[in-house]
Amino acid sequence: MAGETVNLVGEVMRFIDITPKAAFSMAGLGFLGGMLSGFIGSGGAFIMTPGMMALGVPGIAAVSSNLAHKFGKAMVGARKHSKMGNVDARLGIFMVAFLLIGVKLAVFLNEYIFNSMGKAGSNLYISLVFVVLLSGLSIFILRDIFKPNHKNGLAKPTGLAEKLTKINIPPMINFKVANVRVSLWFVAIIGLATGWLAGTVGVGGFIGVPAMIYVLGIPTMVAAGTELFLAIFSGAFGAFNYALNGFVDIRLVLLLYLGSLLGLHIGANATKMVSELQIKFVMAVVIGMSAVSRAFAIPKYLVDLQMANFSEGVARVLDLAATVTLYGGAIIGVMMIVRYIIRFKQDHKADTQCSVKVP
Amino acid sequence: MTKASKSSSIATIIYLGLSICAYLLIFFNIEQLNQFFLSKAVIPAFCLLGTVIGIAFLYGTAISHVLSILGLESNH
């Protein structure tokens, strides 16, 4: 409701009526998000949070339910990840302290905006963060894809990381597994930013991993492993704080799981059949479309808040465009994955036939 | 059917059955459960997260078993 001061905390049950159609859509969204998440290797909240908002769930309930969803998955997978040996525990512990402050700040801000500006204000804030984050990320990935002399894997960090390791602002800390020595202040800033993003939109790793690689100069595998370690804390702390205020809808979490855990395995299997460039291409398309979708949704929230004067018809068309772009992007991403799998299977079959014919 | 595949099938059926039971139990009692979960206190918040982990474990293991029977194993 337009800019109205509401206090709907704890009344999440009234946010969305779970009809069979809504339940099916939610599970389907979980499947799309899970498949893309397994394929890309991220949490999938970048598609599931906007998707839930497009289905009528307030942004804050979508973010909190997604955090709980991510936390459950992270907890179950934690044992496997700890065996990977790619976690710099020291870096993780230092970052966790600031990460939790960032999450707490984000939860406070989200709740404050929701309570003072209502559902539209909260949706506007979350959508704006999504547009900035996802469009920046999509451009970054596209630049990486079309970079001349592109090599597989992320480039060796140079420039900024090298300069920052030379800046001597005490206390300087040595991280053995990551093999870097950096100022605690840079670790603190990255921890705070990652936590704030995780608590605001449910996606923290998108900024945490590149920042660790390019700013701190940490090797890619260690950055990814440490981020997984951090995701457990950001997910747990964020979900717990939102749950304390009654924003986590367990029905949404369970319906997402129904599709996401199935999609996750299929997406992860597909990564064995494609090149890293193809993964990045799918990533850029889906993330870019998700950013465009949130940009289309903003005018409607502005109209709801009486901050802009679009006609009702224009706002409705843009809102429809937001939904079409989001689901279109996710479906295109999934179709690209399926196409890559089919092509791989066909090539594999042709290779097998050739090797049978040639003795 | 080998002994190993037989025990894997039994585990799949058990996990699938348990996850179906858990889902039905939760959705048929959602009104009462949400009254508890949404009461804005520490214990309900912990219980909610515990339920989420439990479901993720049961259903995730069931799906993982089903897919491994179909030859689609992954590290997730």
pLDDT tens, residue by residue, A246-273: 888 888 889 988 988 888 878 777 777 7
Is A234 a domain residue?
yes
Give the whole-angstrom CA distance, residue A194 versus residue A150. 28
Is B2 a domain residue?
no
Interface of B to A at Cβ within 8 Å reads 23, 26-27, 30, 33-34, 37-42, 44-46, 48-49, 51-53, 55-57, 59-60, 63-64, 67, 72-76
Residues of B in contact with A72 (CB under 8 A): 49, 52-53, 55-56
- Which tokens belong to A223? 């950055």
- Judged against a pLDDT cut of 60, whether residue A165 lies above it is answered with yes
What torsion, rounded to 10 degrees, do the Cα atoms A275, A279, A282, A288 define? -140
Out of A88-92, A99-103, A159-163, A257-261, pick the least confident: A159-163
Number of domain units in chain B = 1
Is A300 a domain residue?
yes
| Mean per-residue pLDDT, A336-356 | 78
Q: Average model confidence (pLDDT) for chain A?
A: 78
Provide the CA B63 distance to its chain's centre, in angstroms.
9
Is B21 a domain residue?
yes
| Mean per-residue pLDDT, A343-351 | 79
DSSP SS3 for A55: coil
| Mean per-residue pLDDT, A5-30 | 69
DSSP SS3 for A181: strand
Give the whole-angstrom CA distance, residue A132 versus residue A75. 29
Predicted TM-score of the model (pTM): 0.80
Quick one: pLDDT at residue B18?
A: 93
Closest to B74 (Cβ–Cβ): which among A13, A76, A268?
Answer: A268
Provide the CA A313 distance to its chain's centre, in angstroms.
31
Bond preceding residue A171 cis, omega within 30 of 0: yes
Is B1 a domain residue?
no
Whether A121 contacts A303, CB under 8 Å:
no
Closest to B38 (Cβ–Cβ): which among A12, A80, A240?
Answer: A12
Helix axes B30-37, A250-270, angle to 10 degrees: 100
**Residue A45: which domain range?**
15-351
Separation in Å, CA A140 to CA A62, A156, A216, A240, B49:
26, 15, 18, 33, 35
In this predicted model, which residue has the larger pLDDT, A317 or A168?
Answer: A317
Whether A294 contacts A319, CB under 8 Å:
no
Q: What percent of chain A shows pLDDT beyond 70? A: 82
- Judged against a pLDDT cut of 80, whether residue A190 lies above it is answered with yes
CB atoms under 10 Å from CB of B49, counted, come to: 23
Q: Cβ–Cβ of A76/B56 closer than 8 Å? A: yes
Quick one: pLDDT at residue B40?
A: 82
Quick one: pLDDT at residue B19?
A: 92
pLDDT interval class at B20 (50, 70, 90): very high
In this predicted model, which residue has the larger pLDDT, A173 or A114?
Answer: A114
- Judged against a pLDDT cut of 70, whether residue A193 lies above it is answered with yes
Residue with tokens 């059949």: A273
- Judged against a pLDDT cut of 50, whether residue A166 lies above it is answered with yes
Is A5 a domain residue?
no
- Judged against a pLDDT cut of 70, whether residue B25 lies above it is answered with yes
Separation in Å, CA A37 to CA A47, A61, B18:
9, 21, 26
Q: What percent of chain A shows pLDDT beyond 90? A: 1
**Residue B17: which domain range?**
7-69
Q: Cβ–Cβ of A261/B60 closer than 8 Å? A: yes
Number of domain units in chain A = 1
Is B13 a domain residue?
yes
Is A356 a domain residue?
no
Give the whole-angstrom CA distance, residue A33 versus residue B46. 26
pLDDT in tens, A69-86: 887 777 665 555 555 566
